[in-house]
Structure 1
């Protein structure tokens, strides 16, 4: 049994495709719960989510890390996972997430990303992301545990203090503490379709620069707004 937490903010054009994928898994629907944590959306995100999720509520903590934490605290199961409202998980994602904890010493598992829009630019982006993910996993120098594709053993996550409230880097920082609690496992078949709209709209290298700038500032910055950003109404990026 596993709980999946999906933070969302103004995602009416994308959250339904995400929740449809999460609702049609190789694991029976009564074997997992879907929790949508809304960041104060002013569109139809919550209304759409209520048609699919077991629980929908407005976050009380700050930032996307706080939304994930709020969801974890209200989850019912011993395993918890997190993905994004604009991502599309593979049909066997939940099955693979559960299987990744077959070793009782594993406290965190994570997987690779694939591009939702399969064009040459997005393929190059995913190659870069997956290269970083796999290099870190095999070298054990770091763990590139993206928030769109990470699962935890809940008791270990709570003991570690859950996500640190940051503007950027929270999904990597959590692995630093979790690896002290037990094994961190890379699950190559635990795949998630990633939406690269941020990199298209705001520029790849500019986005990377902003992310590193915020991380080097300790994870909090008044200069850049990396999360809860308003995107243009671009139907091309909303297509699967």
Structure 2
């Protein structure tokens, strides 16, 4: 249950949801069982057009429910930002289950480092044991995530903590083809606000990707990282990108862990899959080196009278409202 509506929470937890009846109840139960003082945070779920029981479950759980008709998790997240007035915003997904100390540890990390943006540790529990899910777990070890977040300033939206001033000064999430969360963390870094990693702020996520899903995920993520790296796009950058063609398989990682010995067939299958994953990453970067990011949004500004206006200006030129009303996107 959220705190009384007349109190201003310190933290707003934001969850976009689309047909998440199988997960949202467990997610909300985890969020309402945090060690962080209950009166200091609220939970907002933004329904993105569900046709199942998602909204019913959210209402029964006592979370605040908003609606956004434009299909994108980032349209949904922006809707929640516009309709909240807390100092901090924490973001996770409907199929993620935060540990009890999640909010406390995110908040402590932000205070300790005077940070405007913090990323936590996402742990993947394998439900479908295949090469893609195993590789997903392997590439999300704490040391690798620390480098991704603190060196490359890439923070995923499923475990993200941002100070409200960041959105007020630099703009909301830009709704683009892919990598809106990466674009935001890069934007903050360029403005002098680096990302910090909170290893003890844990969110658990179930791995149920197919092998093809994981390759598509690699393609999408690497494309987003390349597009928001600040590197130029065009024919010459694309030609330079061709120098990175992964002709050599790079098999050093196969068999490097402590799992039981593989048969020759299993070893060859993993060797081939890792190579295919390198190609997926290369193709994502190559695509991004040719084509610039396509923005799907027209940044919204709310004037003093409360009327919504759209402007074709860059995301950093607009502000978000404070304590806006609970308007519906439908």
Q: Give TM class, smaller chain.
A: 0.7 to 0.9
Please say if 1:134 is aligned against 2:146.
yes
Residue in structure 1 matching 2:21, options 8, 12, 24? 12
1:211–1:175 distance in 2 versus 1, CA, 3 Å: closer
- Structure 1 contact 115–123 (Cα < 8 Å) conserved: no
Q: Tell me by how many angstroms 1:67 deviates.
A: 0.8
Residue in structure 2 matching 1:160, options 149, 154, 170? 170
Please say if 1:91 is aligned against 2:106.
no
Moved more, 18-27 or 115-124: 115-124
1:160–1:62 distance in 2 versus 1, CA, 3 Å: farther
Q: Tell me by how many angstroms 1:178 deviates.
A: 1.4
The aligned residue for residue 23 of structure 1 is 32
- Structure 1 contact 4–81 (Cα < 8 Å) conserved: yes
1:45–1:201 distance in 2 versus 1, CA, 3 Å: farther
- Structure 1 contact 50–56 (Cα < 8 Å) conserved: yes
Q: In 2, Cα distance between the equivalents of 1:143 and 1:157?
A: 17
Q: Tell me by how many angstroms 1:55 deviates.
A: 1.3
Moved more, 44-53 or 95-104: 95-104
Residue in structure 2 matching 1:200, options 210, 216, 234? 210
Please give the TM-score of this superposition, normalised by the length of structure 1.
0.81
The aligned residue for residue 172 of structure 1 is 182
SS at match of 1:189: strand
The aligned residue for residue 300 of structure 2 is none
- Structure 1 contact 10–44 (Cα < 8 Å) conserved: yes
The Cα RMSD (Å) is 2.5
Gaps of 5+ in 2: 1-9, 228-287, 297-330
Gaps of 5+ in 1: 223-240
The aligned residue for residue 38 of structure 1 is 47
1:161-240 correspondence to structure 2 within 5 Å: 161-179=171-189, 180-197=191-208, 199-200=209-210, 202-212=212-222, 216=288, 217-220=291-294
**Larger RCO (CA under 8 A, 6+ residues apart):** 1
Please give the TM-score of this superposition, normalised by the length of structure 2.
0.60
Q: Which has the larger radius of gyration?
A: 2
- Structure 2 contact 48–70 (Cα < 8 Å) conserved: no
The aligned residue for residue 70 of structure 1 is 79
